[in-house]
Chain A
Amino acid sequence: MKLTNRSKVVSNKEQSLSERMYLPGIAKGMLITASHLFKRRATVKYPDELRPIAAVFRGQHILKRDENGAERCTACGLCAVACPAEAITMESAERKKGEEGLYREEKYAKTYEINMLRCIFCGLCEEACPKEAIFLTDRMVATEFEREDFIYGKDKLVEKVDKRIDVTKRQTIEVAEFKKIPGLKHNELWQGKLKK
């Protein structure tokens, strides 16, 4: 069966005179290389110019804080269960009195680690999260020299209070629709209508 039109039948026949003279073949080859002088360069000069990425690009994760600056994550472990690469581990702890500004709910993640070498950036953790705590962002994971450095702890993952990162593009249509439902405490908190 013929699979492609580009296949050529191999032959062992003697070279013809023009083939043995090399020159026609050389001229042909040189014209081919010369034609490449005028072709588009495939190079992207990376640090200077970046390749365009999709609006919903799945890059380095972030653990969001809520509008008051408290961590949203409650260490329920659904992201770790959802993760197909088993890149996420966490330890939970109970919120103490006086820590209400730090953690949104009574339980929080004492440690939360994502192994960026294991992670396949599928976004299932984000989908599994019931608290809108973890999101993938358009940031790239930096290169490191040591394997250990790729295990990102809370210090790298949790959003900085004074440097919020916009993840609205990553929020699914379902989430966006859900947030519009009036009367829910969660939504009013999100919209800032309700004070704690």
Chain B
Amino acid sequence: MLTLIIIKLITCIAVFAISLGVAAYATLWERKFSALLQDRVGPDRAGPKGLLQPLADGGKMFFKEEIIPNVSNKFLFILGPSLFMLTALMTGSVIPWGKDFTTAGGSIISFQITDINIGVLYLLGVVSIGVYGIMIGGWASNNKYALLGAIRSSSQMISYEIAMGISVIALVITAGGTLSLREIVGQQDAGYANIVYQPLGFLIFFVCALAETNRAPFDLPECEAELVGGYHTEYSSMKLGLFLFAEYINMFISSAVMSAFYFGGYNFPFAQELYNAIGLQEGSIWISLIGFGAFFTKIIIFICVFMWIRWTLPRFRYDQLMNLGWKILLPLSLLNLAITIGVEFLRGNLQL
């Protein structure tokens, strides 16, 4: 029992550290990548090749003056960013980062904090709690820009969550009716990745993930041109840092979810052949680590695509955003669901 607790504690800390580390370096890579796309050099002063830039940014955030507006609700003002950060970090707990491995003692250790059988529901639920962070923060600021940003954010997230949820239902049906992330990833082990069965579903999920993470072209909640800073207008110091940072953690987690759902997670083509060629036994830690590496490669590619899109596309207008969400993505996801049900019914995987 004690060993189990220790192992889970270590996994928790590892996931926490990896999320924060990836998010920190995503902020650097965002700046670097945008520079590359714009024929610039990007940050290269802090440390070798600018690699200490995230530390410098974080240090700056900590040492900035912390301002809490007089007229704001102090408790909610602090709760906002904390909640946003908390939900961002919580989502990492159900993602299977690698295959289980067996220790010399014979106990099985998994690369996952917890495998709950409603993992997908948990993910959607926690992600939608994230809206509260923004809403509370924006409302408690007692600032019209912040309030407008918060309202935009909540309406955007709620609209896109519907299409996202329906595309996930279609995925769950293809995956054989399981809501556990470990099983969804596991069933892609033998056959093709789910993207082959759910290309439209993936597209919808991807667009919704962009909207859920408030990334461009759906970054209306914090659109500088109209709303000063959106929901974080009144925030300063590390509370602002938490908001900005949580966005990158969200990006990391949604990349992880997308690669787990549609691109086979830690599986990769010809994995078994590779393991046989090297001579790795089933249950070896090396298999887990190689799978973890493959998973991470996919995540990083997704993060790059997120950034690539951000630095390519202009922001949607608000009515365009709502049109896209309700008039295009929602019917499309319903169509996708109908087709999926039909096909699965014909294949005999579904009973009346």
Contacts and interface: CB of A to CB of B under 8 A. Distances in A.
On whether the two chains bind one another, the answer is: yes
Interface of A: 26, 29-30, 32-34, 36-37, 39-43, 45
A122 B68 CA distance: 54
Nearest to A31: B312
Given A29-B312, A30-B309, A30-B312, A36 B37 contact: yes
A33 B41 contact: no
A39 B40 CA distance: 10
B313 interface: yes
Contact of A26 (B37, B38, B41, B313): B313
B312 A43 contact: no
A114 B309 CA distance: 52
A42 B40 contact: yes
Nearest to B36: A37
A30 to B, nearest CB: 5
A178 to B, nearest CB: 48
Interface string B289-319: 0000000000000000000110111000000
A30 B33 CA distance: 13
A41 B39 contact: yes
A36 B36 CA distance: 7
Interface residues of B, number: 12
Contacts of A39: 39
Interface string B125-162: 00000000000000000000000000000000000000
A43 B41 contact: yes
Interface string B105-134: 000000000000000000000000000000
25 contacts: A26-B309, A26-B312, A26-B313, A29-B312, A29-B313, A30-B308, A30-B309, A30-B312, A32-B312, A33-B37, A33-B308, A33-B311, A33-B312, A34-B37, A36-B36, A36-B38, A36-B39, A37-B36, A37-B37, A39-B39, A40-B39, A41-B39, A41-B41, A43-B40, A43-B41
